[in-house]
Amino acid sequence: MRWCLAAALWLAGAIAPAAQDFTTLKGHGGPIMALAVAPDGRVVSASFDNSVGLWQGRTPTWLEGHDAAVTALALGSDGTLVSGGDDFAIRLWGAEPRELGRHLGKVTALAVAPGGDWVASGSWDGSLRLWPLAEGAAARDLPAPGAGVNAVAYGPDGAAIYAATTDGNILRYATDGSALRVIVKNGFPVNKLVIGPGWIAYGAADGVTRVIEIETGAPIADFTLDRRPILAMAHHPATGQLAVGDGHGYIMMIDTATWTIARDFRAARTGPVWALAFSPDGTVIHAGGIDDVIYSWPVAMLDRFDPAMGQERSFLRPAETMPNGERQFMRKCSICHSLEPGPSRQAGPTLYGVFGRPAGAVPGYPYSPVLAGSDLVWTDETIDALFDIGPDHYIPGSKMPMQVIAGADDRADLVAFLKQATKGE
């Protein structure tokens, strides 16, 4: 049974914070990878902590099921919610959540068809697939785009699908797969695209931010600044606002009626803007990035606020202020693991008391079968070996992401830091 957020998103509850207020939504255990907003104003968030959050005011309800970071979200006009992740899986959420299927690589982009019957997904495995939302029907592959897919979007009437690729192209498909046309060749990966009435806006790894005619590809406007890469885009059709987030921490607000920059706001003191979404009335812009916090600014007052993002994560401190062992931990481990006892919302189990502990032994953590049944014990030697060749080689089949520390001295410093920081009672 499909589930409509607009009709029954966790029953009744408070709507998003008042439009005139700056606010934050806290509770995730990792960076914010994607955002969407339901028709009733509730924020939906995807995080590196493997979960989707549904926010009733400032109170989250967690949707658990992915085995790795959740990287993509899509909401249909009826509230249908779909997510995709680093576990290659695409999940449909509702009264009876289920997995629609899997790619062979990271799921990077999702879009629900205007009619609400299909969801398009793109992956770094170089495939573009259409999934039926009704049970029993078969998925369909569109012609291979020739590179990894970074973004997908349906055209206004649902007759076409647009895909942005890692080799810098934007492709136009007929939804039945009968036609394929390249409409943009950027030369650098196109990371994001948005479809508006008669136009396509796209942002790329080289900082290009352009708008073109949807049918001909003819240029309409160019908002390229000295910032790269472009990492997030959001469009609010009713107010004609287009928001663009980049690696330098800025949110640029474009007026699509006049094709001018209405506001250019530094949202992050340190770190990128990875996710953007407008409130239903367009008066609030929600943003996420390297912090485990969602930030919500009133659009009309953006120029009155100091940068807020990039403040929560301790690894964003200047590297020279930390000893080398702590610096290695912050760079390689801290997004997934805490050092304190007890459960947390981070993607991995706590490292408190890790030395001498059998792998897969923290109560309540959903380990992969290879770790849950392992006879591995964490010691100076095994932790060193883990980072020497990387978790995917040292423990094939585990959920641990690839992390290698090439220098033996750096690994020794990390082990020494962990021995001190994770001491049990």
Range 342-362 average pLDDT: 89
% of the chain exceeding 90 in pLDDT:
70
Q: Of 182-191, 192-201, 400-409, which range is least confident? A: 400-409
Helix (H) or strand (E) holding 286: strand 284-289
For the cut 80, the answer to whether the pLDDT of residue 7 exceeds it is: no
Q: What is the pLDDT of residue 135?
A: 86
Residue 313's pLDDT is 64
CB 142 within 8 A of CB 173: yes
What is the C-alpha separation between 307 and 22, in angstroms, rounded?
12
Peptide bond into 229 cis (omega under 30): yes
CB atoms within 10 A of CB 409: 9
Report, as an integer, the average pLDDT of 337-364. Answer: 89
Q: Does position 1 have pLDDT exceeding 50, yes or no? A: no
CB 110 within 8 A of CB 146: no
> Would you say 57 and 14 are in contact if contact means Cβ atoms under 8 Å apart?
yes
Q: Domains of the chain (ranges plus CATH)? A: 5-304 (2.130.10.10), 317-421 (1.10.760.10)
pLDDT at position 3 over 70: no
Tell me: pLDDT of 178 over 60: yes
Residue 307 has pLDDT above 50, yes or no: yes
pLDDT at 12: 31
Q: What is the pLDDT of residues 220-252, one digit of tens each?
A: 999 999 999 999 999 999 999 999 999 999 999
Reported confidence tier of residue 176, pLDDT bands at 50, 70, 90: confident
The lowest-confidence range among 55-69, 272-286, 336-350 is 336-350
CA pair distance 254, 263, nearest whole angstrom: 7
Give the residue-averaged pLDDT of 306-335. 80
Are 130 and 108 in contact, with CB atoms under 8 Å apart?
no
pLDDT in tens, 253-304: 999 999 999 999 999 988 899 999 999 999 999 999 999 999 999 999 998 8
Residue 100 has pLDDT above 70, yes or no: yes
The pLDDT value recorded for residue 13 is 37
**Contact (CB, 8 A) for 19 and 284:** yes
C-beta of residue 90 within 8 angstroms of C-beta of residue 67: no
Q: What average pLDDT does the structure give for the chain?
A: 90
How far from 273 is each of 33, 279, 314, CA to CA, in Å? 9, 17, 17
Q: pLDDT value at position 93?
A: 96
pLDDT band at 82 (very low <50, low <70, confident <90, very high): very high
pLDDT on residue 6:
39
The residue type of 260 is T
CA distance 268 to 163: 29
pLDDT digits (tens, 9 = 90+) for 8-52: 343 333 334 444 589 999 999 999 999 999 988 999 999 999 999
**Position 4 pLDDT exceeds 70:** no
